Amino acid sequence: MKNNYCQIYLVRHGLTDWNIKGLLQGQSNIPLNKEGEKQAVEAAKKHFKKIKFAAIFSSDLVRAKRTAEIIALEKKMAVETSILLRERDFGPFEGKLFNEVIKELRLDIQSFRMLTDQEADNLGIESDSKLMERFLRFLREVAIAYQGKKF
């Protein structure tokens, strides 16, 4: 019996200077720093060396795309990008310290993550449910296109 399930490997982008500073990156196009590039090289060699991928996908944001490109280089593959894989849109809060945003909004981290669509819209950010809707749409599309494959 043929296996129609996909195997999906998820990798977070490597380190950026904004990560170090604790700034919300969201959809701001922040590049990897040298340590982030080193992390991607290590991931490629340590975790993905023996895996044969059918495709490699990435957000179109430079930090994610560069991470994927480093992993893809080891495989001699191209990276396909999608805006559906972008990080959450933090709108007016991007570039601000996460801890300051939480204080400014008078929310704890859990409450921030559980904002309703309406509450998030009022703040100009993307809610968890809209983020997941976007991500799941991507997964459904590629799972159909790559049945029984690894990506």
Annotated catalytic residues are 13, 87
Distances (CA, A) of 26 to 4, 18, 32, 93: 34, 10, 14, 9
DSSP 32-47: B-HHHHHHHHHHHHHT
DSSP 85-96: GPPP--GGGTTS
